[in-house]
Structure 1
Amino acid sequence: MTENREHALRNAASILIDTRTVGQTVTDLPVELQPVDMDEIYFVQDLVASAFGPVGGYKIGAPTPDAAPFFAPMPEAWINPNGATLSGPHWRFRALEAEIAFLVGEDLPPRETPYSREEVLAAMASCHPAIEVLESALADPIKAARGSSMGDLQMHGGFVPGPAVKDWQSIDFTKERVTVTVNGEVLVERVGSNTSGDFLRLLPFLANEGAARTGGLKRGQWITTGSWTGNTPVAAGSHCVAEFSTAGKAELTFA
């Protein structure tokens, strides 16, 4: 990366950070500042995340079962307990995704020999239902350039994990039903609908291919593994529940 390009991407990150901090929006990043590939997207993401404190984990997903995964850091300060009430001017977009998340139980430092899928899954302390809240510095991140919305932490805004699931290894996630309920009304209902297909493949990817960027997964970090329900925008004052038929539920309220 040239010095001029790095300077442009640092300016892009500054715009996203400043806009998120004051709870305002921009239509898009200037064209000359927009990240154009995953290396540039990840560079901007890491700058944005670092402005909000330590990393508490990662969101990872893939748009199709055959697609390469991509991931973004989740600031620790944006991780909330189950049942939390979220308040403040930065809750603007308020889109929900029902997800399955994992709490890392053992450090997985970078190493030359890739971790096996079995090793990585064994290092997970627990499995949880979760809600990821999507937020953005962009007025309409769906209409903005892909590099802009991806650089903006892939629209990450908050994370709420539910209680740990017992014997999660025995769940047939291809048959798992999930609903998103808002103020008592079921808005989304799907079955086996994680866009990554076999979403457990995301964990060894993060532990191996992602290690150069993460520095290795660490005990106590969260990993959330992509949406089962698309994104569901909700209004202020809404009580929201993401419930899986076997894996339990997570819930939050917007003030």
Structure 2
Amino acid sequence: MTDVVSTDVVHLLLSVRNGKTPPPAHVDDNLVPLSIEDAYRIQDEVAQHLGPIVGWKVGAQTPSSEPFCAPIHASTLFNDGATVPHGLCRHLGVEAEIAYRFAQALPPRERDWTRDEVMDRIGTIHPVIEILDTRFETPGSQHKFLHTADQQSHGALIVGPGVAEWRKYNPVVEHVRLSINDETVAEHVGGNSAGDPLRLLVWLANHASRRNLGIDAGSIVTTGSTTGTIFVDHGARVSASFPAIGSVHTILA
């Protein structure tokens, strides 16, 4: 991808965030990043305009496939019970997820972070709700590298209370319930396509290190949907519950 094309994509994504009309259903093929590395470079350029990074989203399509990720910024992070402002997201794709907060930093370094090192730096486990959004006209309408460049379609993250004894929980077999306006719309065990999300944290630690970003102490990392994406209207009341871990609630103004 040339610098000109990269700049064009960055400008497109930032202009929509600033109120411009999203591009049509299918953007020019010449704007599609040629590789996932190009998509991450665009992410980095966009992130410079979005304020402090306070967390990450990471996921994978299967238990063995290469994960993908995007930074989460302070302006899109909310605590349990918060009302997400009406103008923040154009699309409201609701997902129940499990997240981990790091008590200690994982800064960039030459050698890889080991699984034990990453696990030792986790402080708490949290129930969270992610809101899927896009700077394109329609969610999921573009090449996957364009959606990766668009902060992996992140809209907002609402974080529930943390539990320090996170090692007691096996996220693969945790029960989850997602409710919209007090009606249960998804309820089952597990559901994350990535399988064990802890492997995603190890991958992310080394991925962020190679991008010279690292993971700061206090960062929250959400590890992929356990319920799939359910699109709702503005004004919806949303609750996600993992009975063994806790619950999180929000109103989407």
The TM-score with structure 1 as length reference comes to: 0.93
Match of 1:202 among 200, 203, 206: 200
Which residue does 2:9 correspond to in 1? 12
Q: Could you tell me whether the CA contact under 8 Å between 1:29 and 1:148 is conserved in 2?
A: no
Structure 2: which 5+ runs fail to align?
none
1:59 maps to amino acid: K
Structure 1: which 5+ runs fail to align?
none
The worse-fitting range, judged by mean Cα deviation, of 227-236 and 140-149 is 140-149
Cα distance in structure 2, aligned partners of 1:182 and 1:122 = 36
Cα distance in structure 2, aligned partners of 1:163 and 1:246 = 12
2:192 maps to amino acid: N
Which residue does 2:80 correspond to in 1? 82
The TM-score with structure 2 as length reference comes to: 0.94
Deviation string, structure 1 residues 3-46 (Cα, Å, up to 9, x no partner): xx122111111101111221642224322111121011101111
- Alpha-carbon spacing, 1:90–1:23, altered in 2? closer, same or farther (3 Å): farther
Q: Could you tell me whether the CA contact under 8 Å between 1:183 and 1:240 is conserved in 2?
A: yes
Q: Could you tell me whether the CA contact under 8 Å between 1:83 and 1:250 is conserved in 2?
A: yes
SS at 2:70 equivalent: strand
Which residue does 1:128 correspond to in 2? 126
Q: Could you tell me whether the CA contact under 8 Å between 1:23 and 1:90 is conserved in 2?
A: no
Which residue does 1:109 correspond to in 2? 107
Cα distance in structure 1, aligned partners of 2:177 and 2:20 = 30
Which residue does 1:215 correspond to in 2? 213
Matches within 5 A, 1:86-165: 86-165=84-163
Deviation string, structure 1 residues 97-135 (Cα, Å, up to 9, x no partner): 111111111121223332221221110121111111111
- Alpha-carbon spacing, 1:23–1:87, altered in 2? closer, same or farther (3 Å): farther
1:34 maps to amino acid: V
Cα distance in structure 1, aligned partners of 2:142 and 2:84 = 26
Cα distance in structure 2, aligned partners of 1:138 and 1:235 = 18
SS at 2:64 equivalent: coil
SS at 1:9 equivalent: helix
Residues 1:244 and 2:235 aligned together: no
Q: How far did 1:166 drift?
A: 4.2
Q: How far did 1:230 drift?
A: 1.1
Q: Could you tell me whether the CA contact under 8 Å between 1:107 and 1:217 is conserved in 2?
A: yes
Q: How many correspondences in the alignment?
A: 252
Q: How far did 1:63 drift?
A: 0.6
Q: How far did 1:214 drift?
A: 4.7
Q: How far did 1:61 drift?
A: 0.7
2:3 maps to amino acid: E
2:160 maps to amino acid: G
Q: CA RMSD in A?
A: 1.5
Q: Could you tell me whether the CA contact under 8 Å between 2:86 and 2:234 is conserved in 1?
A: no
Q: Could you tell me whether the CA contact under 8 Å between 1:16 and 1:48 is conserved in 2?
A: yes
Q: How far did 1:219 drift?
A: 0.7
Q: How far did 1:145 drift?
A: 2.2
SS at 2:58 equivalent: strand
- Alpha-carbon spacing, 1:53–1:157, altered in 2? closer, same or farther (3 Å): same
Cα distance in structure 1, aligned partners of 2:20 and 2:97 = 26
Q: Could you tell me whether the CA contact under 8 Å between 1:22 and 1:90 is conserved in 2?
A: no
SS at 2:78 equivalent: coil
Deviation string, structure 1 residues 233-254 (Cα, Å, up to 9, x no partner): 1111110011112111111101
2:100 maps to amino acid: F
Cα distance in structure 2, aligned partners of 1:23 and 1:95 = 21
1:153 maps to amino acid: Q
Which residue does 1:61 correspond to in 2? 59
